[in-house]
Amino acid sequence: MTDGSYGGLLKMFIGMFYTLCAALLVFNCASKKKKESNALIKKEVPSSEVDGGAKPPGASTMSKQNQVKEPEKKQAVDTDDKKAEDGKKEAKEDNKKENTKETQPSKDGTGEISKECKGDKKEVSQTTKKEIAPGISLKPAMLHFNVKEDGQEVLTLSNETGKVLLLKLKITDNELYSVNPIYSALSNKESKDIAINRKQGSPKLDKVEICTLEVDKKPTEDRIADIFKEKRDKVTTNSIPIEAC
State the pLDDT confidence band at 13, using cuts at 50, 70 and 90.
Answer: confident
Domain co-membership, 68 together with 139: no
Among 15-29, 39-53, 167-181, name the one with the lowest average pLDDT: 39-53
| CA-closest candidate to residue 191, choices 225, 154, 160 | 160
Domain co-membership, 180 together with 225: yes
Say if 114 falls within a structural domain: no
Say if 151 falls within a structural domain: yes
Domain co-membership, 74 together with 175: no
Domain co-membership, 67 together with 94: yes
Helix spans in the chain (H): 3-44, 47-52, 59-102, 221-230
Domain co-membership, 135 together with 240: yes
Domain co-membership, 148 together with 211: yes
Domain ranges, residue 14:
1-47
Secondary structure E strands in the chain: 130-133, 136-139, 143-145, 151-159, 164-171, 177-180, 183-186, 191-198, 204-215, 236-244
Q: Helix, strand, or coil here: 42?
A: helix
Report how many domains make up the chain.
3
Say if 85 falls within a structural domain: yes
Higher per-residue pLDDT: 115 or 215: 215
Say if 124 falls within a structural domain: no
Q: What is the CATH number of the domain that holds 187?
A: 2.60.40.10
pLDDT per residue over 41-57, tens digit each?
665 545 444 444 445 55
Domain co-membership, 29 together with 67: no
State the pLDDT confidence band at 80, using cuts at 50, 70 and 90.
Answer: low
Q: Residue 132: its pLDDT value, please?
A: 86
Domain co-membership, 238 together with 140: yes
Give yes or no for residue 181 having a pLDDT over 90: yes
Q: Are 207 and 242 in contact (CB under 8 A)?
A: yes
The separation between CA 160 and the C-alpha centre of its own chain, rounded to angstroms, equals: 52
Query: Cβ neighbours of residue 206 under 8 Å, at least 6 residues apart?
Result: 171, 172, 173, 176, 177, 241, 242, 244
Say if 116 falls within a structural domain: no
Which amino acid, 225? Answer: A
Write down the mean pLDDT value for the chain.
75
DSSP 110: S
Say if 74 falls within a structural domain: yes
Domain co-membership, 234 together with 144: yes
**Integer angstrom CA distances of residue 163 from 149, 184, 215:** 40, 14, 6
Domain co-membership, 234 together with 135: yes
- Look up the pTM and report it: 0.51
Q: Return the bridge partners of 244, or none.
A: 145, 204
pLDDT per residue over 100-152, tens digit each?
443 344 443 334 445 445 444 445 445 577 888 899 999 999 999 999 999 99
Q: Residue 147: its pLDDT value, please?
A: 92
Domain co-membership, 177 together with 228: yes
Largest CA distance in the chain: 173
Domain co-membership, 187 together with 219: yes
Q: Residue 109: its pLDDT value, please?
A: 38
Q: Residue 124: its pLDDT value, please?
A: 45
User: Which segment, 47-61, 72-86, 87-101, is predicted with the most confidence on average?
Assistant: 72-86
Determine the Cα–Cα distance for residues 140 and 236; give it in Å rounded to an integer: 20
